[in-house]
Amino acid sequence: MGRELTVALVGATGVVGAEFLKCMEERNFPVGELRLLATSRSAGRQLEFRGELLTVRETTHDAFDGADIAFISASTAASKELCPAARERGAIAFDDSSAFRQEPDVPLVVPEINPEDLRDHHGIIATPNCSTVPLALTLAPLMRERGIVRVIADTYQSASGAGGAATVELHEQNAALAAGEEVVVAEHPRQLAFNAIPQIDVFLDDGYTKEEWKMQVESRKILHQPDLALSATCVRIPTEVSHAIAVHAEFDRPLSVAEACALWEHQAGLTVIDGRAPGAYPTPLDATGVDDVFVGRLRQDASHPNGLAWWCVADNLRKGAALNMVQMVEWMLNDGCL
């Protein structure tokens, strides 16, 4: 990997942008030139990367000229404009939004699961929704041994999944409540402090939210299971970082706890913490700032003879976004397809 890449980072000042900088530093990612891009509001800010202060510029199409890759973590509307623009200027666009994930010619990849899909890109590559990554990574190794009949996934998602302003709002709401002041609600659809909000993204006609639909259709695409039966309820809870999921999976024949655990132990990117003792399970705080997806609370599902139930947690900004995108590029460099 002697090659050094010219990297455009769109959304550099956001919560995922900050994680990109950390991940690229920690992993000694082969960046030659790094262009930090954001909205005009954030232009002029300075961010540190490898001990050097870099100035954030406003995102323009010209900024992609000569770039090898563009990491794009912005709104879906922005991605719809910027991904094709980056591609036209010769960069491969790695997109964090849902804008292109369901396009047939756009790979949707978790590198530990379906990296080969990266070879068939047409200039735009998508990273999955931040809750889909941990779910898919716990399902994938089990699916190599058993057919999956049905998956139920109920999530416990953090404020940062809605962005930096939504995270600040949670802290401000907590402070207002502690001070006996009025709570301001602007970023989340309801007060998040001391509450749980069963709505992430907009509602669809069938009563599911778009976040729940994403978990279904994105899992199908990543796992190459176009008919996978999957139902999710996505809930925002008052945590800052990391998303957790309670999973109930039904297989085509029994799979024991010991077999599932052994499959997980051999799965890259997954750490099992499953002690059946007080505290011996992963929580959002454990996953925050850590690369791996954590899984625990594994048990035979009491409601079905072929069922297993578990709990998984991952840093939504890291493995749920920035890290997963960095790992895609690493795989492609190693593979030679980039």
The dihedral built from the CA positions of residue 250, 252, 255 and 259, taken in this order, carries a sign that is negative
Residue 109: phi and psi, rounded to 5, are: -135, 135
Least distance CB 211 / a copy of itself (angstroms): 12
Q: Quick one: 122 or 190, whose CB is closer to a copy of itself?
A: 190
Query: Mapping DSSP to helix (H, G, I), strand (E, B) and coil, where does residue 11 land?
Result: coil
Note if 130 is an active site residue.
yes
Does residue number 303 form part of the binding site for a copy of itself (CB under 8 A)?
yes
The residue from 311, 316, 331, 333 that contacts a copy of itself (CB under 8 A) is 311
Least distance CB 103 / a copy of itself (angstroms): 22
Q: Quick one: 29 or 156, whose CB is closer to a copy of itself?
A: 156
Q: Where are the beta strands (DSSP E) in the chain?
A: 5-10, 31-38, 46-49, 52-55, 57-58, 69-72, 92-95, 124-126, 148-156, 230-233, 243-251, 270-272, 293-300, 307-314
Q: Quick one: 36 or 152, whose CB is closer to a copy of itself?
A: 152
The residue from 6, 75, 191, 225 that contacts a copy of itself (CB under 8 A) is 191
Q: Which two tokens stand for residue 91?
A: 């960069």
The residue from 15, 54, 136, 230 that contacts a copy of itself (CB under 8 A) is 230
Listed ranges 36-44, 106-114, 130-138, 194-202: which one lies at the site for a copy of itself (CB under 8 A): 194-202
Distances in whole angstroms, Cα of residue 234 to Cα of each of 133, 170, 177: 14, 18, 25
Least distance CB 221 / a copy of itself (angstroms): 16
Q: Quick one: 138 or 239, whose CB is closer to a copy of itself?
A: 239
Residue of 325, 327, 248 whose CA lies nearest to 16: 325
Q: Which two tokens stand for residue 10?
A: 């769109």
Does residue number 89 form part of the binding site for a copy of itself (CB under 8 A)?
no
What is the C-alpha to C-alpha distance for residues 95 and 74, in angstroms, rounded to an integer?
9
Does residue number 136 form part of the binding site for a copy of itself (CB under 8 A)?
no
270 touches 292 (CB < 8 A): yes
Q: Are strands 230-233 and 148-156 parallel, antiparallel or unpaired?
A: parallel
Q: Quick one: 37 or 142, whose CB is closer to a copy of itself?
A: 142
What is the C-alpha to C-alpha distance for residues 283 and 49, in angstroms, rounded to an integer?
30
Distances in whole angstroms, Cα of residue 187 to Cα of each of 54, 118, 169, 317: 29, 35, 7, 18
Note if 266 is an active site residue.
no
Does residue number 163 form part of the binding site for a copy of itself (CB under 8 A)?
no
Q: Which of 130, 188, 248, 312 is catalytic?
A: 130
The count of residues interacting with a copy of itself (CB under 8 A) is: 57
Q: Which residues are catalytic?
A: 130, 243
Binding site for a copy of itself (CB under 8 A): 150-152, 154, 156, 171, 174-175, 178, 189-191, 194-199, 202-203, 206-208, 216, 229-231, 233, 235, 237-240, 244, 246, 248, 257, 276-279, 281, 283-285, 296-304, 307, 309, 311
